Amino acid sequence: MPRYKLTIEYDGTPYVGWQCQETGRAVQEALEDALEKFVGTATRVHGAGRTDTGVHATGQVAHVDLAKDWRADTVRDAVNAHLRPEPVAVLSAERVGDDFDARHSARARHYLYRIVNRRPPLALERAAWRVPQPLDVAAMNAAAAHLVGRHDFTTFRAAQCQAKSPLRTLDRLDVTRSGERIEVRASARSFLHNQVRSMVGTLVEVGIGRWQPRDVAAALAARSRPACGPVAPAVGLVLTRVDYAPQEDEES
């Protein structure tokens, strides 16, 4: 069966997350419904990452096996037609080899967390967390440096996280400001449940001045969930890209 790699964008606000659940509608469910309308049979979609309730994506990746060898642009356009009016869009569809797996072939995942640092409420910006207190970005970066590298991230994962090991290698965690907008970018091969939001919430505590950068190092060393700062809300988190080895991206 021909396998297709889908790159997907979505507003996570109305969904319970990527993965199908009994408690509400999921992004995966919306895509599978659209594919069934397109091809006429139930079709499973396999995603690169299980984004949580309310988390957005501009570069989620999934793979799907179809019974017919469709043109890639036909798959993209037909699925998008059946997705309306869901806030989900297939940005691209590519034919890939049978060995491509959206989750297991991934080499890196990249997240962006958006903060608007101002007191007035947000009238237009939906995918951002408004923090009214002034934030010290230099202090946040000093704190973030303690988290980069390979560590036991027990402190920064949800209590219900199902990962077998809390060990992860964080390749990037940095904070930048442009006016009132602050961006936190995180990259790793894989993340624990709630890890990015837990780290961002803790960095904001540093930015406000409630924590010092050294307190983040102590929290990491504690390997205890209660040592974590508040978890940042889902509204500001976006999965922006998933990286794969070049030979796995597309068949010639």
Could you give the residue numbers annotated as active site?
A: 52
- Rounded Cα gap, residues 75 and 130, in angstroms: 38
Whose tokens are 């419904």? That residue is: 33
Helices 137-144 and 213-222 cross at an angle (nearest 10°) of 30
Structure tokens at 27: 């992004």
Cα-based torsion angle of the residue sequence 54, 55, 58, 64 in order, rounded to the nearest 10 degrees: -90
CA gap 219, 177 in Å, rounded: 25
Report the 3 state secondary structure along the chain.
Answer: CCEEEEEEEECCCCCCCCCCCCCCCCHHHHHHHHHHHHHCCCCCEEECCCCCCCCEEEEEEEEEECCCCCCHHHHHHHHHHHHCCCCEEEEEEEEECCCCCCCCCEEEEEEEEEEECCCCCCCCCCCCEECCCCCCHHHHHHHHCCCCEEEECHHHCCCCCCCCCCEEEEEEEEEEEECCEEEEEEEECCCCCCHHHHHHHHHHHHHHCCCCHHHHHHHHHHCCHHHCCCCCCHHHEEEEEEEECHHHHCCC
